[in-house]
Chain A
C-alpha cells in the first residue's frame, strides 16, 4: 500500500470515527434533528398510507420546486444576498406545495378526472415550471451556488445548527400533534362516514393530516431532497405493516424505522462526505423495508411461504397415512383396525401410490418424509410398514375425514359424488373442538372410533 492511499484511508477513518463518536456539536445537532424528522415522517406516513393518500406527498414535494426557485429570485431581486436563507426558501416551497395540493383536490372534486391522473397532472405541471425557473436561477450571478441544489438532492452536511433546531422543533410538534389526535385519525382512515355521522368534521381532520404531511415533506427537503422525501413518509409505515396487524404497534415501528434510517443516513454521510445524505437515508430505509418484506412476522414473504409449506406438508402427510389405512382396512376387516394390527402388515409401494392421484415425485417425497419422521418403515422386500406412531396418526386422519364426510352427507345438500373432494379440503383445518362437536352430533358408530367410509374407496376398487 502506498503512502498516499494509507494517508487517505487514515483520514477517512478519522472522519468516520468523528462522525460516529459525535465529537462535533454540529453532527450531534444534525443527528438529533434529522432523527426527529424520521420519527415524524414515519408517524404521519402511517396515516397517509392508511388514508390511501400516499402519492399526495409526492405532489407536495415536487410542487415545492417552483416555490424554491421563485423565492430565491424574488429575494435576490429585492434584497440581494438574502436568497439563500433557509426560511425564505422554505416559505416559497410551502406556498407552492400547498397550492399544488389544493389544485389536486380542486381537479378531483370539480372534474371527472380520477385521483391518480389529477396527482400526475399537478406533479408534472409544477415540476416542469420549477425546472424552467431553475434554469433562470442558474443564469443569475449568485444562483449557481450549491445551496439550491441541496433542496433537490438533499445534503445533511450543509445543514447548520440553526436550521436543524427548526427542523427538529417542527418535527416534535408534529409528533405530539399526531399522538394527540391518534384515535380520531385512525377513525377517519378506517371509516370516514361513521366519523362524520358521529359529528367529527372530517374535512378538518383530513386538512390536519394533509398539513402535517406537507410540513414533514418541506422540513425534509433539505436533508433528503425533494426527489426522495416522499420515501421518508412512505417506506417506514409500509415496512412496519409487514410485522404487525395493530395500528399502535405499526405506527410505533414506523417511527422507529424512520428514525433509524435518518440517523443511519446522517452518520454514514458524515463519514463519507461524498455520499448524498438523502440517498443514504432512503437506502437505509429501503434496506429495512427489504428485510421486513422478506421476514416480517405477519405478512413477510418468508413466514407466509413457510406456513403455506407447513400446511401443504401436513395435508400430504395425512393423505398418505389415510391411504395406508384404507389399503389395510379391507385386509384387516373394518372392526380389526387397532393401532397394533395396523402395524403388522406390509404395504406395497405400487398399491399405495395407486390410492390417490399423486404425481410420482410428490409421492416419493411424501414417503421419504414419512420414513424420516418415523411414521413408516421400509421393509426388506421393498414395501413399507406403519409404525405405532404412524398407525395412530393414520387412524386420526381417517376419523377426521370420515366424520366430516358423514356430516356433509347427512346435514348438507351437497351432491354425494362431490363429498369426498369436499371433505378433503376442510378436514385438515378442523380443530379438536369442532371434531368433538361433529362426533357429538353424529354419534360415533364404530367401537374403534373410526366410522366406516360412507362411500366405496376409489383406490381399492381399482385393484
Chain B
C-alpha cells in the first residue's frame, strides 16, 4: 500500500479518485471513510472527507487546533451525527463492528476524581462482553490485570484513579482499550501531557499492536515525532489536505497547506527535515 492522495482544493472540482477502494475486499479494510461531512449547529467542521486506512499500520491524524481531528474520530464511532457520507469498519457499519474497535478518548474528557480504582476503569472496557446484570467476575478481573500489565501499571491496579499521575491515567485509559482486544484502535491525543517514560511506554505498545497486525489511528499533536512514530499520516484542516505514507505526505509543503499562517514553527521544522535523516 503505497498510494498517497494529495488533494489540491483550489484546483479540485471533480470527485476524488476512488480507485483505492476497489483494490482489496472491503472486509479487509479497517476503516473506509466516504465523503463524510459533519456540522455543529449548521456550521460545518468537516467537509467531504474521504479516507481509506491501510491495515496493520500506525496512522497519525495531524492538523491545527479546531481542524476536526477529534470530530473525525467521533463521527466514525457514531458519537456525533454525520451530515453526509458513510463510514465502514472492516466493510460494515460501526454498530456491527463495535467489538473490533477500541477507543481511547482524551484523558481530560473525564473527571478523574471518580471513586474507582485503575482496575475498575480497565474492566469498563469489557462491560459489553460481560453483559447486563452480571458483576465483573474473576476471569475478567484477571484479563483487566493483564491489560494493566501490558502498560506497566499492574502494581497500581488497586490504586484510586485520582491518586495517579497524568501519565499513569493515560496508561490506564490505554489498558481499558487493550482489554477489549480489538483489531482497530482510535486514540485521541494519547501523548498529550504525559511524561517521557509514559511516552516511550505508549510507543512500545503501539509498535507491539502493529506487530500483531492491528491498525492504530492516533490524533497527534507533536509534529517533531510524526516521522519517528507513524507509518501513515492524515493531514486534516476541516478538509482532507493529504493522506498516505509518512515519507510521501509529511512534507513541508503539505504542512504549510495544513497549518496555513503559522509559519515560524513550520520553517523551523522544514529546516530540521532538510537535514539528512539517520535511521
Which residues in A have some Cβ–Cβ distance to B below 8 Å?
50, 180-184, 186-187, 189-191, 193-194, 196-200, 241, 244-247, 250
Contacts and interface: CB of A to CB of B under 8 A. Distances in A.
A462 to B, nearest CB: 39
B4 interface: no
Contacts of A193: 74, 79, 105, 109
B162 interface: yes
A191 B79 CA distance: 13
A193 B70 CA distance: 12
B272 interface: no
Interface string B96-126: 0010010101000111001111001100110
Nearest to B76: A197
Given A194-B103, A198-B98, A199-B98, A241 B115 contact: yes
A115 to B, nearest CB: 15
Given A183-B135, A193-B109, 4 more contacts: A180-B133, A183-B136, A198-B128, A247-B114
B231 to A, nearest CB: 25
B124 A191 contact: yes
B95 interface: yes
A121 B115 CA distance: 32
Contact of A244 (B115, B128, B136): B115
B131 to A, nearest CB: 10
B40 interface: no
A110 B67 CA distance: 26
B279 to A, nearest CB: 28
Contact of A250 (B115, B124, B135, B162): B115
A72 B103 CA distance: 53
B110 A190 contact: yes
A454 B222 CA distance: 37
A387 B136 CA distance: 56
B103 A190 contact: no
Nearest to A194: B105
A190 B124 contact: yes
21 contacts: A50-B114, A183-B136, A184-B127, A187-B127, A190-B110, A190-B111, A190-B116, A191-B105, A191-B110, A191-B124, A193-B79, A196-B77, A196-B78, A197-B77, A197-B98, A197-B101, A200-B128, A245-B117, A245-B160, A245-B162, A246-B117
Nearest to B77: A197
A74 to B, nearest CB: 40
A247 B176 CA distance: 18
B162 A184 contact: no
A110 B74 CA distance: 22
A190 B121 contact: yes
A34 to B, nearest CB: 27
A174 B133 CA distance: 14
A199 B128 contact: yes
Nearest to A246: B115
A244 B121 CA distance: 17
Given A196-B79, A198-B98, A247 B127 contact: no
A184 B133 CA distance: 9
Contacts of A246: 115-117, 160
A186 B161 CA distance: 14
Contacts of A186: 116, 120
A180 B115 CA distance: 19
Interface string B71-85: 000100111000000
Contact of A199 (B95, B105, B130, B135): B95
A326 B240 CA distance: 65
B148 to A, nearest CB: 17
Contacts of A198: 98, 103, 125, 127-128
A50 to B, nearest CB: 7
Nearest to A250: B115
Contacts of B116: 186, 190, 246-247
4 A-B pairs with least C-beta separation: A245-B160, A197-B103, A247-B115, A197-B77
Given A180-B133, A196-B79, A198-B98, A190 B128 contact: no
Nearest to A50: B114
B77 to A, nearest CB: 5
Contacts of A190: 110-111, 114, 116, 121, 124
A195 B55 CA distance: 26
Contacts of B95: 199
Interface centre among A182, A189, A241 (most CB of B within 10 A): A189
A50 B120 CA distance: 16
Contacts of B121: 190
Nearest to B188: A193
Contacts of B77: 196-197
Interface string B120-154: 11001101101011011000000000000000000
Contacts of A194: 103, 105, 124, 176
Contacts of A200: 128
B41 to A, nearest CB: 10
Nearest to B135: A183
A184 B103 contact: no
A236 to B, nearest CB: 14
Nearest to A241: B115
A241 B78 CA distance: 34
Contacts of B110: 190-191
A25 to B, nearest CB: 36
Contacts of B133: 180-181
A265 B162 CA distance: 36
B216 to A, nearest CB: 16
A186 B120 CA distance: 10
Nearest to B113: A245
B94 to A, nearest CB: 9
Interface centre among B103, B105, B116, B117 (most CB of A within 10 A): B116
